[in-house]
């Protein structure tokens, strides 16, 4: 599968982060829009499978198809740039600034949101036959998801907010592992295999993904879910974005950068000695 060693793909991570900082506004927005739209379609696909089969594992097994498609086509998710772009700043790449990083994050967020909202509207039309009927079974399921993952967290207060945040951290730990795993191989099958595994884990465990939620919750409101836009932003989207940032940057980008890109000097080997008594006497000196 043309495996690439960690030291090599760690350098590719930093290079990728640098390239995203300097990408034009048009390209950043278009790539983010398409990423949000494709991931939203994958979420609709997975929920449809779950409802139609009654087996959430099947939905989780097939959800990664959308993630693989969007990354193979070079589109960008907010969860990915949260992990990659700061590495170029850490590495002090010429011209990479905090302002440039925040610009990239802001543009990708807007593009992802627009793409996910487009699909949310399209799917709401499909689920209600042009808003002429009550939502079908899949549409009803999406509305219930929105309620439980906003009002449900709110009902638990601070404990609910903590749970939401931790689920978001864990989500981008897995999702960004998928982003990096795509760099571990030069072959398409190798990239797909690397991406598929962590994305399956995140989706089946119900972690909170900011871009998936840009589809689920607006479409849930359109389909009659009994929660508000304020509920969505305060009790899901904003904490999820922050948790995704922490999870991707801390547990994936930061860790790989620290140990595979900025490698510490190796310890000296144990000196060649005849026996342990001689070693102890050398150590005592």
What is the extent of the structural domain holding 90? 6-260
Residue 132 has pLDDT above 90, yes or no: yes
What percentage of the chain has pLDDT greater than the value 70?
Answer: 94
DSSP states along the chain: --B--HHHHHHHHHHHHHHHHTS-HHHHHHHHHHHHHHHHHHHHHHHHHHHHHS-HHHHHHHTHHHHHHHHHTT---HHHHHHHHHHHHHTT-TT--HHHHHHHHHHHHHHHHHHHHHHHHHHHHHHTTTTTS---HHHHHHHHHHHHTTHHHHHTTHHHHHHHHHHHHHHHHHHHHHHHHGGGBSSHHHHHHHHHHHHHHHHHTT---HHHHHHHHHHHHHTT-S--HHHHIIIIIHHHHHHHHHHHIIIIIIHHIIIIISPPPPPPPPP--SSHHHHHHHHH-
Domain containing residue 252: CATH number: 1.20.1080.10
Q: What integer pLDDT is reported at residue 281 of this predicted model?
A: 60
242 within domain boundaries? yes
Tokens found for residue 122: 């399209």
Q: Total domain count for the chain?
A: 1
pLDDT digit string, tens, across residues 215-266: 999 999 999 999 999 999 999 999 999 999 999 999 999 999 999 999 999 8
Q: What integer pLDDT is reported at residue 276 of this predicted model?
A: 56
pLDDT mean over 37-53: 98
187 within domain boundaries? yes
Rounded to 5°, angle at Cα 126 from 120 and 127: 85
93 within domain boundaries? yes
Q: What integer pLDDT is reported at residue 2 of this predicted model?
A: 83
Residue 279 has pLDDT above 50, yes or no: no
273 within domain boundaries? no
1 within domain boundaries? no
281 within domain boundaries? no
Tokens found for residue 2: 């043309």
277 within domain boundaries? no
pTM over 0.85: yes
Nearest residue to 147 (alpha-carbon basis) of 81, 72, 231 = 231
Higher pLDDT, 132 or 282: 132
92 within domain boundaries? yes
């Amino acid at each position: 599968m043309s495996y690439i060693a960690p030291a090599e793909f760690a350098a590719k991570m930093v290079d990728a982060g640098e390239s995203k900082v300097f990408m034009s506004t048009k390209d950043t927005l278009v790539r983010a829009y398409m990423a949000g739209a494709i991931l939203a379609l994958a979420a609709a696909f997975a929920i449809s499978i779950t409802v139609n089969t009654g087996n959430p594992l099947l939905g989780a097994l097939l959800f990664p198809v959308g993630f693989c498609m969007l990354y193979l086509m070079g589109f960008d998710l907010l969860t990915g740039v949260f992990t990659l772009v700061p590495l170029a700043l850490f590495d002090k790449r010429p011209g990479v600034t905090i302002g440039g990083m925040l610009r990239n994050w802001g543009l990708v967020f807007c593009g992802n949101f627009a793409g996910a909202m487009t699909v949310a509207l399209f799917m709401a039309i499909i689920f209600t036959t042009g808003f002429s009927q009550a939502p079908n079974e899949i549409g009803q399921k999406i509305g219930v998801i929105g309620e439980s993952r906003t009002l449900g967290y709110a009902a638990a207060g601070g404990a609910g907010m903590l749970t939401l945040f931790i689920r978001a951290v864990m989500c981008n730990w897995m999702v960004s592992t998928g982003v990096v795993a795509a760099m571990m191989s030069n072959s398409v099958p190798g990239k797909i295999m690397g991406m598929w595994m962590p994305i399956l884990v995140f989706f089946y465990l119900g972690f909170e993904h900011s871009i998936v939620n840009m589809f689920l919750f607006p479409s849930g409101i359109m389909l009659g879910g009994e929660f508000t836009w304020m509920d969505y932003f305060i009790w899901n989207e904003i904490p999820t974005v922050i948790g995704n940032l922490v999870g991707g940057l801390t547990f994936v980008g930061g860790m790989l950068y620290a140990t595979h890109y900025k490698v510490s000097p190796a310890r000296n080997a144990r000196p060649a000695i005849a026996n342990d008594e001689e070693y102890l006497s050398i150590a005592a000196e």
